[in-house]
């Protein structure tokens, strides 16, 4: 309803806006709710707060309180709550898509299905324990329950073996820009950011510490780190510390942009030999190359003959000139393709693990199920104590329940008596 909104005590008009009534239990929180849609000026908002405070038992909501009330009302589970929080804080398109799928319950549906299968398996096993002697439940029920558990184990293994794509997308892809001094690392980060993030000079060793900046590349969040130029011959204590930090950062980085000076590679007969020696001179391990995109900077300094010779190796690196931005679009396209590999495509892939909390409880769940399966398959039937090892299954169900926020043990009894 569009109406005048007046102060609760003075009856002075505050604004003209919309007043919307959401009766429970169909509101966001499940409670009766009123929303005021007013103009966003700070004076209007302050006046609204002042007016509402005149009503008894009225206070400003605590951070996240409406979402908490929605959770307790059964409107959302914990994964949906976390997805909503991620959606609010999403800064890139890929983050938005992943958070939206989680907030809409797609991850919750997957976990609840796993949990349902385990609850049914426990119910079948306990029915076998209780009623096998009366021959109301045969061996097929037990075998079917164990088969369900084996299926859940395989699903969990696949889900956990995701190379942390969801977490990487949520938190940002840590990307290190490395190379020898004065190859153009700081120029590259300034070019990508369109502003002077790092100091650029002709003096070697200008960058001493890790300089991080956040970017959106092709819809994916990237944390770019400009690092100290890597070299062995320096007597500067501060620069040495910067180099040590750079190498440490590279070891933990998801992606590495290795910058090479084109003018130094121009006269080299073997590009592969040069790159190998270059990497060794920088003090980087060979496994870094599996996470590396090579950027051949200062390509504007190459002669036409040298450029044509190096073009035969263009699958190994990207040509770039930070001076005139030649090759920037091609470099960004390669980076984007690598980001898709690292984070997945949230538009088409199944929801992935986005929180370390989820991963921890899923590992706990898998551990319990594996212990159950090992015991069941290794111990002969007459010597099995199913009542004891079923406790592992209960713990597995609780672990999934801790992810979604539902830990209900009475469901097992309900399944036994209703099926």
Tokens in use for 367?
A: 């551990």
Rounded CA gap, 43 and 331, in Å? 48
H helix or E strand, kind and range, residue 215: strand 211-217
Instruction: Give tens-digit pLDDT for 93-110.
Output: 999 999 999 999 999 999
Instruction: Give tens-digit pLDDT for 313-368.
Output: 666 788 898 888 888 999 999 999 999 999 999 888 788 999 999 999 999 999 99
**Which range (80-89, 131-140, 179-188, 358-367) has the least confidence?**
131-140
**Which of the four pLDDT bands, split at 50, 70 and 90, describes residue 14?**
very high
Residue 15 above 90 pLDDT? yes
Tokens in use for 381?
A: 């039937």
Return the closest-CA partner of residue 70 out of 58, 57, 80.
Answer: 80
Instruction: Give tens-digit pLDDT for 276-317.
Output: 777 777 777 777 888 889 898 888 888 777 777 777 666 678
The residue that leads in pLDDT, 419 or 301, is 301
Count other Cβ atoms within 10 Å, centred on residue 47: 19
Whether the CB-CB separation of 207 and 242 falls below 8 Å is answered with: yes
Give the residue-averaged pLDDT of 178-184: 84
Residue 417 above 80 pLDDT? no
Give the three-state DSSP class for 246.
helix
Tokens in use for 194?
A: 């369109």
Calculate ∠ Cα 385-389-393, nearest 5°: 150
Helices 386-404 and 106-131 cross at an angle (nearest 10°) of 160
Q: The whole model's pTM is what? A: 0.81
Give the residue-averaged pLDDT of 78-87: 92
At residue 63, the pLDDT reads 85
User: What sign has the CA pseudo-torsion 84, 86, 89, 95?
Assistant: negative
In DSSP terms, which residues pair with 293 in a beta bridge?
257
At residue 416, the pLDDT reads 40
Residue 4 above 90 pLDDT? yes
H helix or E strand, kind and range, residue 41: none
H helix or E strand, kind and range, residue 120: helix 106-131
At residue 201, the pLDDT reads 44
Rounded CA gap, 74 and 29, in Å? 9
At residue 239, the pLDDT reads 65
DSSP 3-state percent helix, strand, coil across the chain (nearest 5): 55, 15, 30
Give the residue-averaged pLDDT of 154-164: 94
Tokens in use for 372?
A: 């159950």
Rounded CA gap, 46 and 405, in Å? 36
Count other Cβ atoms within 10 Å, centred on residue 286: 9
Percent above pLDDT 70 for the chain: 85
At residue 205, the pLDDT reads 47
Whether the CB-CB separation of 140 and 132 falls below 8 Å is answered with: no
Rounded CA gap, 26 and 30, in Å? 6
Rounded CA gap, 312 and 334, in Å? 17
Spell out the domains of the chain, with CATH numbers in brackets: 2-60 (3.30.1360.120), 81-162+353-418 (1.20.120.430), 167-343 (3.40.50.300)
């Amino acid at each position: 309803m569009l109406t005048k909104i007046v102060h609760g005590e003075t009856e002075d008009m505050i604004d003209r806006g919309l007043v919307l009534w959401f009766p429970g239990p169909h509101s966001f929180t499940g409670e009766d709710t009123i929303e005021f849609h007013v103009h966003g000026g700070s004076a209007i908002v302050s006046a609204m707060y002042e007016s509402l405070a005149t009503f008894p038992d009225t206070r400003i909501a605590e951070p996240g309180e409406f979402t908490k009330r929605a959770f307790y009302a059964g409107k959302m589970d914990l994964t949906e709550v976390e997805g909503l929080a991620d959606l609010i804080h999403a800064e890139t398109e890929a983050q938005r898509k992943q958070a939206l799928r989680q907030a809409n319950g797609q991850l919750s549906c997957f976990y609840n299905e796993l949990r349902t299968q385990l609850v049914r398996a426990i119910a079948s096993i306990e029915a076998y324990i209780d009623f096998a002697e009366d021959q109301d439940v045969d061996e097929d029920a037990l075998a079917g329950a164990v088969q369900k558990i084996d299926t859940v184990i395989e699903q969990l293994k696949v889900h956990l073996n995701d190379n942390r794509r969801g977490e990487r997308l949520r938190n940002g892809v840590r990307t290190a820009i490395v190379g020898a001094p004065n190859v153009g690392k700081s120029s590259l980060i300034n070019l990508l950011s369109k502003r002077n993030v790092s100091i650029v000079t002709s003096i070697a060793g200008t960058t001493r510490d890790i300089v991080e900046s956040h970017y959106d590349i092709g819809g994916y969040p990237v944390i770019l780190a400009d690092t100290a130029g890597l070299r062995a011959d320096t007597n500067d204590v501060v620069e040495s510390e910067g180099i040590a930090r750079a190498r440490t950062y590279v070891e933990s980085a998801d992606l590495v942009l290795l910058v090479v000076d084109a003018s130094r590679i121009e006269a080299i007969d073997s590009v592969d030999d040069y790159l190998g020696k270059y990497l060794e001179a920088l003090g980087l391990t060979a496994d870094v190359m599996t996470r590396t995109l090579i950027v051949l900077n200062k390509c504007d300094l190459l002669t036409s003959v040298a450029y044509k010779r190096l073009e035969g190796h263009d699958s190994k690196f990207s040509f770039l000139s930070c001076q005139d931005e030649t090759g920037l679009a091609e470099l960004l396209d390669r980076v984007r393709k690598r980001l898709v590999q690292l984070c997945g495509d949230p538009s088409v892939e199944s929801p992935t693990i986005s929180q370390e909390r989820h991963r921890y409880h899923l590992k706990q769940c898998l551990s319990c199920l594996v212990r159950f399966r090992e015991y069941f398959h290794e111990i002969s039937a007459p010597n099995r104590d199913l009542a004891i090892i079923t406790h592992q299954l209960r713990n597995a169900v609780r672990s999934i329940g801790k992810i979604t926020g539902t830990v209900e043990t009475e469901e097992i009894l309900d399944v036994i008596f209703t099926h």
